[in-house]
Amino acid sequence: MPNMNQNKFRTGERRLAGVMKDGVNSANRYYLNRFRDAYRQAVIDLMMGLPVTEDLYSIFSKEKEHEEKEQESQRGAQEQVSLLLQTYMQLLLPDDEKFHGGWALINCDMSIIDATNKDVDVLLLLSNNAYYIAYYDEEADKVNQYQRLHLEGMEKIEIGPEPTLFGKPKYCCMRLHYRSEETAGYFHTLRAATRNPEDDGKDTLQCIAEMLRITKEALGLDLLVVEKRLER
């Protein structure tokens, strides 16, 4: 089994995608190898009238202890992601722009990526008058390209189920429509990196959209945010 510490930068910092996945992997391993099996066996023993081979209280106590460790691990992962966002903010934003926020997201543009991609590969950075779409290359451990787009060119934001050909959508996506050099029709489609498989990421995307709307409003410009099923 690969060591989670293999997800390190040469500088000693964790890879972005690795940071986001480690919490999920750790929780899944514990659930599958410890809590589920022990609890299932205890229930079987009780139904058969046999003495419980392991104290249920002990099982739940260990689960609680693990949850506390997991929460601590998640806080550490969030701090590392925040550090990465701050690092690229300093590298990409000019001195005369004020940093308003940053998010680690996943590209779900069906025309250019594998629809099954689950790794963080986009950093969305917001300043007082522009936003940046930075593409993160996990193999190179760095951002290999980015776009700087003026907020005044952002036309609208759509939030809705991911565009799919078959099956029920699993995630919610956010589509940023913008014009470039007075030419409309461009967009970026992104989704949130979620830890809980039951979370479609909609709440996170709504918060990001609201932050974009408020920032553009501060420039005296309106931004339409709508919820609808996204077209492919």
pLDDT on residue 117: 52
What pLDDT, on the 0 to 100 scale, is given for residue 51? 67
N residues, the chain: 232
Taking only the tens place, the pLDDT of each residue in 28-55 is 555 555 556 666 666 677 677 766 655 5
Strands (DSSP E) along the chain, which ranges?
A: 99-107, 122-127, 130-137, 142-150, 154-161, 172-180, 183-192, 224-227
Q: Which two tokens stand for residue 42?
A: 């205890």
Q: Which fold has domain 98-227?
A: PH-domain like (2.30.29)
CA atoms of 76 and 191, how far apart (whole Å): 22
What's the rounded Cα separation, in Å, for the pair 105 and 174?
A: 10
What pLDDT shows up at residue 163? Answer: 75
Is pLDDT larger for residue 189 or for residue 30? 189
Q: b or e along 65-74 (b: 16 or more beta carbons within 10 Å of the residue's beta carbon)?
A: ebeeebeeeb
pTM of the model: 0.67
pLDDT at 198: 82
Residue boundaries of the structural domains of the chain: 4-79, 98-227
117 phi, psi to nearest 5 deg: -60, 130
Is residue 129 over pLDDT 80?
Answer: yes
Tell me, what's the pLDDT at 222? Answer: 96
Tokens of 79: 């701090």
